[in-house]
Amino acid sequence: MAKRRRIWFALAVLVLLTLVACSTKNSPAITDPKGNEAHTISGIWWLMCGMASAVYLIVGGFIVVAAFRGRRSEEGKPSRVRDSTFIVVGGLIVPSIILLVLGASVVYASNNLRQPEKDPLKIEVVGKRWWWDISYPDQNITTANEVHIPVGRPLEIGLDSDNVIHSFWVPQLGGKVDLIPGQHNIWRVKATKAGVYRGECAEYCGLQHAKMNFLVVAQPAAEFDQWVVRHQNPPSGPSDELTAAGQAIFMREPCAGCHTIRGTTANGTIGPDLTDIGSRRTLGANTVANTDANLAGWIVDSQSIKPGNLMPPIPMSSNDLHALLAYLRSLK
DSSP, residue by residue, 123-181: EEEEE-SSSEEEEETTTTEEEESEEEEETTS-EEEEEEESSS-EEEE-TTT---EEEBT
**CB of 188 closer than 8 Å to CB of 115:** yes
Dump pLDDT digits (tens) for 163-216: 999 999 999 999 999 999 999 999 999 999 999 999 999 999 999 999 999 999
Cis bond before residue 46 (omega within 30° of 0):
no
20-34, 46-60, 167-181, 311-325, range with the lowest pLDDT = 20-34
**Does 13 have pLDDT greater than 70?**
no
Q: Which helix (H) or strand (E) holds 318?
A: helix 318-329
pLDDT (0 to 100) of residue 113:
82
pLDDT band at 89 (very low <50, low <70, confident <90, very high): confident
Task: Quote the CA–CA distance of 242 and 275 in Å, as a whole number.
Answer: 18
**Inter-residue long-range contacts of 229-234, CB under 8 Å, 24+ positions, other chains counted:** 230/332, 231/139, 231/141, 231/143, 231/275, 231/276, 232/139, 232/140, 232/141, 234/261, 234/262, 234/263, 234/264, 234/275
| Across 57-64, average pLDDT | 82
- What are the C-alpha distances in Å from 212 to residues 98, 150, 166, 227, 315? 38, 24, 10, 24, 25
Is residue 25 over pLDDT 70?
no
Residue 1 scores a pLDDT above 60: no
pLDDT given for residue 74 in this prediction = 62
* Residue 327 clears pLDDT 60, i.e. is over it: yes
So what's the pLDDT on residue 23?
47
pLDDT at site 17 = 56
Evaluate whether 228 touches 141 at the Cβ level (below 8 Å).
Answer: yes
**In what side-by-side order are the strands of the sheet with 155-161?**
141-144, 132-136, 121-127, 155-161, 185-189
Please report which helix (H) or strand (E) contains residue 51, including its range. helix 36-69
Given this model, what pLDDT does residue 201 score?
Answer: 96
Global confidence as pTM: 0.83
Measured in whole angstroms, the distance separating CA 153 from the mean position of its chain's CA atoms is: 20
Supply the pLDDT for residue 29: 82
Neighbours of 258 (CB within 10 A): 17
| Nearest in space to 261 (alpha carbons), one of 324, 189, 193 | 324
pLDDT score recorded for residue 16: 60
**Dihedrals phi, psi of 122, to nearest 5 degrees:** -95, 130
User: Coil, strand or helix: which one is 185?
Assistant: strand
- Which pLDDT belongs to residue 234? 85
Task: Kindly give the interhelix angle for 292-301 and 318-329, rounded to the nearest 10 degrees.
Answer: 120
Distances (CA, A) of 176 to 143, 189, 246, 301: 21, 11, 40, 33
- Identify which of 2-16, 43-57, 106-120, 245-259 has the greatest average pLDDT: 245-259
Q: What is the pLDDT of residue 24?
A: 47
**pLDDT at site 147:** 98
pLDDT above 90 covers a percentage of the chain that reads 71
Q: Which pairing describes strands 155-161 and 282-283: parallel, antiparallel, or unpaired?
A: unpaired
DSSP assigned state of 1: -
Over 90: is that where the pLDDT of 56 sits?
no
- The angle subtended at Cα 163 by Cα 160 and Cα 169, nearest 5°, is 50
Mean pLDDT across the chain: 89
Residue 197: C-alpha distances to residues 18, 31, 238, 260, 300 (Å): 24, 13, 33, 26, 30
Average pLDDT estimate for 123-147 = 97
Contacts of 64 (CB under 8 A, 6+ apart): 7
pLDDT of 241 above 80: yes
